Structure 1
Amino acid sequence: MREVVGGHFLPTPPDRIGVAVSGGSDSTALLTLLSDFVAETGGPSLHVVTVDHGLRPEAAGEARAVAALAAELGHGHDTLRWTGWDGEGNLQDAARRARYALIAEWARAEGIGAVALGHTADDQAETVLMRLARACVRIEGGDVVIPLRDLRRLRPEILRRVLIAALHWLTGTEYPPRRRAMALLAEAVRHGTDMTLHGCHAKVSRGELRLMREARAVAAVIAAPGRPWDGRWRLTPPEGTDAPEGAEIRALGAAGLAECPLWRDTGIPRLSLLASPAVWQGDLLVAAPAAGRPEGWTAELIRDEEAFFGFFLSH
């Protein structure tokens, strides 16, 4: 094991090595291995860091336990605390990015040339799956788009997970369709056949599968400007102005699309635009950002691409 660990650092290891330890089995095992390595080789000094994201009450106690273990092994320990979560976007992704940024800043300040991170085999498998889902999936105009050449290369179970993640991302519902329905969907898209399922359209065109929200599934969804609509969108008025009195966010629908003469220039399919959010004041269309009539309004996806990959890993 010494040779395996040393292979990452020898023959010219840095003077100081950092190791990020959460208290879990993977990072604790890594700390123990590195501690043995530096003891046996008389090599670099080892410095331990724990990030407390402030999201769980147990985290502070876990950090103290890591500090105690580090002291027992004869190494210094620091706890870094993150207080930057504002409730927006994908929490897991924000926490991960913050963790790496805090550790990098800590390493620079301490003059540490390398920081070791521990991952279990399951973590590594998830990373492979995540990268695979990313070499073939993109989010475009609120739709999930997959090139058919990539889709047809996916193994059945990976394809099933990608399709389930897409439906979850589009609808926000807790449970996916039954396995039989998912098998029918996978079979349909592999053969270039359109299908409607779970309040979504699966449409094959121009060498791509596009999964989009079904218009009738959101026909009754209403939100105030600035509030989430259909769990994915937020529409806000032009900067420095208020929304018109009585304005509300509803689906664009066929009547609204008819008032958007430039919708084809957006490159977004008609079916997708019918289910896109628009600003209405009674029967008057005020704005339709996705359909080429923004009128100064901004449409923001609050369930972003990282949320899709979170759904993918959870299934």
Structure 2
Amino acid sequence: MGQLLGPDFPSEIGLAVSGGGDSMAMLSLAHNWTRAWGVGLRVVTVDHGLRPGSADEARLVAEECRVLGWPHDVLTWKGWDGQGNLQDAARRARLSLIDAWRGGMRDVLFAHTADDQAETILMRLRRGSGVEGLSGMAMVRQASDMRILRPLLNERRETLRFHLRVLRMPFADDPSNDDDRFERVRLRRLLMALDEEGLGVEALTRTAARMQRARAALRARTAEVASRIATEEWGQVVIARDGFADIERDTQMRLLAAALQFVAGSEYRPRTEALEALLDSCLGGRGGTLGGALLRIDGAVLRIQREPARLESLATRVGDGALWDGRWQVESVDLQGFEVRALGSLGWSQVPDKPEHGPRFHDALTLPAIFDESRLVACAALSFGPAHVCRAIAPAHSFAAFISAH
């Protein structure tokens, strides 16, 4: 914890506690850490409402926090529609709720263990992941403005249970941990058998640590290449085709994945199989779409821009403080209340004098523009209409910096 938070300790940190053994052990440990360092602690429990006992587990955490003297909040999720992967949907909801809950607090602790890491590696190995996936979970992860810290990532689950038993600290056992419908539960049982052959938690976590070192080196290589052959133009990434063709395939994949994430504002890197298919298409002279981004072959360059279909129904209003497409901040005193939408072919047709060196038709379709119903009022990228401010807020860093951070 000292290495993760110090030497300049924050005034307050958050802690996600479900009531299970791992997170209750971390509550006990964090109680002592924060008191020793004079750091405030806020505890949060996300009740997904998927099991009858979840409310009781939240009350268990609340009572322990009352005894220890720390504030505790319960966040309730009611967003499950019965579609897709339940555990993935619950995890995404948990992060989103906690991100909104933390306010200005930067750091939030999560109680992932070495066992969780090993299970994650097996899941990703099963999907054919490369270095990126087999690096597992990082001890520190940046998620928007929130910093996720996993101080127990080197600790075994049973060690934490022993800690709780010695302290006589209560904890709950989630029955879903024994439900074979979930992939992680099935692999957890497989891991016990693999351990007998020397392929258990310790071996897999050692592999993850080595893969993390390799990932850092490969990421640095990709950032260096991007600084030479890639540029940004109005939220789009433009890559020199000749330079791209000359680099090794792994760096091609990393550069392409980063460009897709950067443009689409996606939290996750595209799946390897889909990414390789798009790369092959690109090297063969064809474009394609993936993860909300469009790759076009544009003469001597590859152009990665927002997928137009994803923007058709997306609109905000000037002055309402909302980011258009999760990225663009559009401000104007004189244009308050007008609608911000993608320029599209409708807007393009209303620009009488296109800038000679500005975006062309296909490049311009996804640019932010201001409309009064169907009438184009302004588009900063095309120097059209009244002056207004249009700037990208997220991601706030350059493309090369984005690669290094992701």
TM-score, length basis structure 2 = 0.47
Conserved? CA contact 2:315–2:341, under 8 Å? yes
Corresponding residue number in structure 2 for 1:232: 327
Q: RMSD of the TM alignment (CA)?
A: 3.9
Corresponding residue number in structure 1 for 2:261: 168
Conserved? CA contact 2:295–2:304, under 8 Å? yes
Give the secondary-structure state (helix, strand or coil) at the position aligned to 2:295.
strand
Give the secondary-structure state (helix, strand or coil) at the position aligned to 2:294.
strand
Distance 1:290 1:50 in 2: 44
Amino acid at match of 1:234: Q
Corresponding residue number in structure 2 for 1:256: 347
| 1:216 matched to 2:216 | no
1:7-26, aligned counterparts within 5 Å? 23-24=2-3
Distance 1:53 1:147 in 2: 43
Corresponding residue number in structure 2 for 1:82: none
Match of 1:185 among 278, 293, 302: 278
| 1:303 matched to 2:398 | no
Conserved? CA contact 1:169–1:307, under 8 Å? no
| Residue ranges of structure 1 left out of the alignment (5+ in a row) | 1-21, 26-48, 66-84, 96-119
Give the secondary-structure state (helix, strand or coil) at the position aligned to 1:280.
strand
Q: For 1:289-312, what per-residue CA distance to the aligned partner results, in whole angstroms no more than 9, with x for missing partners?
A: 112214111210112462644653
Corresponding residue number in structure 1 for 2:376: 285
For residue 189 of structure 1, report the CA deviation from its aligned partner. Answer: 2.0
Greater CA drift, 282-291 or 262-271: 262-271
Amino acid at match of 1:24: Q
For residue 168 of structure 1, report the CA deviation from its aligned partner. Answer: 1.3
Give the secondary-structure state (helix, strand or coil) at the position aligned to 2:253.
helix
Conserved? CA contact 1:215–1:271, under 8 Å? no
C-alpha change, 1:220 and 1:92, in structure 2 (3 Å) is closer
Distance 1:236 1:255 in 2: 22
Give the secondary-structure state (helix, strand or coil) at the position aligned to 2:266.
coil
Q: For 1:98-127, what per-residue CA distance to the aligned partner results, in whole angstroms no more than 9, with x for missing partners?
A: xxxxxxxxxxxxxxxxxxxxxx96696244
Distance 2:290 2:213 in 1: 35
Distance 1:181 1:261 in 2: 40
C-alpha change, 1:94 and 1:53, in structure 2 (3 Å) is farther
C-alpha change, 1:196 and 1:279, in structure 2 (3 Å) is same
TM-score, length basis structure 1 = 0.58
C-alpha change, 1:276 and 1:165, in structure 2 (3 Å) is same
Amino acid at match of 2:317: A
Amino acid at match of 2:311: V
Distance 1:86 1:293 in 2: 41
C-alpha change, 1:53 and 1:290, in structure 2 (3 Å) is farther
| 1:269 matched to 2:248 | no
For residue 138 of structure 1, report the CA deviation from its aligned partner. Answer: 1.6
Displaced runs of 4 or more, over 6 A: 91-95
Conserved? CA contact 1:214–1:272, under 8 Å? no
C-alpha change, 1:304 and 1:263, in structure 2 (3 Å) is farther
C-alpha change, 1:54 and 1:145, in structure 2 (3 Å) is farther
1:106-255, aligned counterparts within 5 Å? 125=217, 126-225=219-318, 226-237=321-332, 241-244=333-336, 246-255=337-346
Conserved? CA contact 1:168–1:174, under 8 Å? yes
Distance 2:350 2:386 in 1: 13
Number of residues of Structure 1 aligned to a counterpart in Structure 2:
224
For residue 192 of structure 1, report the CA deviation from its aligned partner. Answer: 2.7
For residue 158 of structure 1, report the CA deviation from its aligned partner. Answer: 1.6
Corresponding residue number in structure 1 for 2:59: none
Q: For 1:169-208, what per-residue CA distance to the aligned partner results, in whole angstroms no more than 9, with x for missing partners?
A: 1222334443222112111222332223333221122311
Distance 1:277 1:124 in 2: 35
For residue 145 of structure 1, report the CA deviation from its aligned partner. Answer: 0.8
For residue 275 of structure 1, report the CA deviation from its aligned partner. Answer: 1.0
Conserved? CA contact 1:164–1:312, under 8 Å? no
Give the secondary-structure state (helix, strand or coil) at the position aligned to 1:50.
coil
C-alpha change, 1:290 and 1:55, in structure 2 (3 Å) is farther
Q: For 1:134-169, what per-residue CA distance to the aligned partner results, in whole angstroms no more than 9, with x for missing partners?
A: 222221122101111221122222211211111111
For residue 269 of structure 1, report the CA deviation from its aligned partner. Answer: 2.8
Give the secondary-structure state (helix, strand or coil) at the position aligned to 2:251.
helix
Q: For 1:241-297, what per-residue CA distance to the aligned partner results, in whole angstroms no more than 9, with x for missing partners?
A: 2434x4111111111111112334243131121111111122222211112214111
